[in-house]
Structure 1
């Protein structure tokens, strides 16, 4: 386990200093949920400039992303362990007007303690895979009672909404509002850093493999060996999903006999032409790496994780490659495939062949990337829908809460 889990441990027991008289509380468990929450945070900050936003995460990865991307826009603390005493202690220090849970965070004691204190609880950007549904159906009665404490659920898709209702959520508590990740933007600061990194890379074809898990780097590095036989100056940017694996992946790159550079050690220097791999061993820079690439592979898809965010490379108009396991992103997968903007590859040979095809055919690459970006644009506007619903819920609170 990461040593970071042992830091700030008192917060996990609900010990936080009295932060504010009232706040908007957003809980995002880890990296993906934090990224989804960012557009909503900006919208809430704009509409409620005088109400602090307290953002909790469970993982250090999520914490790092909050600090990197949102900085002083929110107050970050770790979420309390889901036991009544710890949750009550946290609530007594933060005084939330509303509790906003991102995606699939269903914590029994958080729901019950908020309900007792008459704090409305909403699940935003809610998703529930078929696999998760099968597990929850064994405790349907328990889930149905828990859902009584919810004020509102905003689902990503119609399929997600139907799964929640199968677990007992009342139809009048759920609306299909879409996926907040379609409303992502990049800051001017990131744009400036992109210019610098592009200069450090130079004129080379760049292939990024992001959010990779154990078992995937082996496949990607083997594929890249084959790519280098045809594209000798190609650069692979390899970004493991979890920081505790950075050193392990570094060792694997060495074992495969690639000359490489760690992003954390770059500082001001350029990437040497002899460096075949750049290891993305930093936090909060995935968008920066996508912006410098010509082709993207999104991890969590060669292994049974269910995939990761396909919309980030779509934002940058990149041809997108993925393994076959995308059960957590079915709507986005289907939308991209329908637009011929996603290529599913099953092994290292197919991955190498596809990357070379896009490197060798700039027109094909550009067309596929543009189709991906169009899918992204066609689904924007979700944040406004969520904001409208949250405004109704916040407005219904007694005025003393403000």
Structure 2
């Protein structure tokens, strides 16, 4: 009875939620350039001829950029063993779609995942007839799981993570959530401590597997790599300057972090990467009020190196004022910009709840600093703090001091070695996940 009531309530609320969210979604798509990227596929309206679609293959569902990158990591690894296999990657956002399309993987069909209306889900499944659906970190949708169960299509959730806050909330409403979550065939968790909550949600113990984190697996895929075109851009601000990168900043953090960088080392170049590129105008205004000259990545060609007063390019020291700040307002480049940094400050950890992923900086051997809010990356964040693998600060005053410390080569070496040692606990996660996905 409870299951029927919950499903009926969901079906009544879903159209209302869609109508309430639709105007904001349109604005977001306009900002992110989503229109013109087959957005009709969100409503199961397709323009690709049916005979050209890859039917009966594995589908990865990735909500946005981070999940899309993880899905691409799994697909590339799978293709090493089976180069002729085709895949479908379904994303939920225009930015995720752009990253997946830009990966340029032969045989990969990039689409949008359907909204969770029954007729849209059925149309999607009728068209592609997937052999299995792999949800990367989330999201779990009732109609999708129900339809897949009816058709015998396994649905597996990989790289599942559950923050303590989420676990408490899920436990509280477990009786209402269990009918949906119990439809999952397999859950691959990042840590063994999460097994209990998934059992509470209705999964049998034999269907829960601790694989480690796909994000934190240092032994698979490529690490962040320095790009010559990025170095050209950095050189145009003055050669041999320390680079402090603020990764995935959220509103209010941009000027806070940039000002702390300037206080820590007047010669250090602040490089800010907003979590959402369409915030560029807001970020620019915030930084200009703090006294910075803003240079947007999107306005510079890849090989940018300005000249000055007839001096040859190779001899130019700097084409920008000393108070310049570089803002990376392009999508999908954060990973390799990280490799050019001397220290990385993690966004969404000061004025927002949750934090952002520190793994890429750690894999690039760059010292990491974050604020008090890293709830979404526990227990890794706590372990990093306790082992000296990072610096955790409480306010902007501590941040400036910590940036200064992280720029010291000896301190940086100690931090990066301790941090990478922690990541080795997740070594082989990619291989373990693929082994699960290849099971019948």
* Corresponding residue SS for 1:305: coil
Cα distance change on mapping 1:138 and 1:374 into 2, 3 Å: closer
Residue 220 of structure 1 aligns with which residue? 257
Does residue 353 of the first structure (1) align with residue 401 of the second (2)? Answer: yes
Deviation at 1:70, TM superposition (A): 5.0
- The aligned runs of 1:374-389 (5 Å cut-off) are 374-389=421-436
Does residue 298 of the first structure (1) align with residue 333 of the second (2)? Answer: no
Deviation at 1:130, TM superposition (A): 2.2
Deviation at 1:358, TM superposition (A): 2.4
Contact 2:137 2:160 in 1 (8 A): yes
Which whole-Å deviations, capped at 9, do the CAs of 1:235-291 have from their partners, x for residues lacking one? 010010012212210121222221231111121323635253100111111022111
Deviation at 1:32, TM superposition (A): 1.8
Q: Which runs of 5+ in 1 are unaligned?
A: 397-402
Residue 232 of structure 1 aligns with which residue? 266
Deviation at 1:12, TM superposition (A): 0.5
Deviation at 1:378, TM superposition (A): 4.5
Number of residue-to-residue matches in the alignment: 389
C-alpha root-mean-square deviation of aligned residues, in Å?
2.2
Deviation at 1:52, TM superposition (A): 1.5
Residue 76 of structure 1 aligns with which residue? 110
Does residue 180 of the first structure (1) align with residue 214 of the second (2)? Answer: yes
Contact 2:233 2:304 in 1 (8 A): no
What is the rounded CA distance, in whole Å, between the counterparts of 1:71 and 1:249 in structure 2?
Answer: 33
Deviation at 1:135, TM superposition (A): 2.9
What is the rounded CA distance, in whole Å, between the counterparts of 1:94 and 1:129 in structure 2?
Answer: 34
Which whole-Å deviations, capped at 9, do the CAs of 1:6-42 have from their partners, x for residues lacking one? 5533111112333122221000111221222232111
Q: Which runs of 5+ in 2 are unaligned?
A: 1-26, 306-317
Contact 1:53 1:75 in 2 (8 A): yes
Deviation at 1:74, TM superposition (A): 2.2
* Corresponding residue SS for 1:181: coil
Cα distance change on mapping 1:306 and 1:356 into 2, 3 Å: same
Does residue 366 of the first structure (1) align with residue 401 of the second (2)? Answer: no
- The aligned runs of 1:90-129 (5 Å cut-off) are 90-129=124-163
Which whole-Å deviations, capped at 9, do the CAs of 1:357-378 have from their partners, x for residues lacking one? 222x221122212322333345
Cα distance change on mapping 1:195 and 1:249 into 2, 3 Å: closer
What is the rounded CA distance, in whole Å, between the counterparts of 1:197 and 1:334 in structure 2?
Answer: 35
Residue 75 of structure 2 aligns with which residue? 41
Does residue 272 of the first structure (1) align with residue 319 of the second (2)? Answer: yes
Given candidates 363, 377, 382, the residue that maps to 1:329 is: 377
TM-score, normalization: structure 2?
Answer: 0.83
Contact 2:65 2:332 in 1 (8 A): no
Residue 208 of structure 1 aligns with which residue? 245
Contact 1:25 1:53 in 2 (8 A): yes
TM-score, normalization: structure 1?
Answer: 0.90
Deviation at 1:301, TM superposition (A): 0.8
Residue 399 of structure 1 aligns with which residue? none
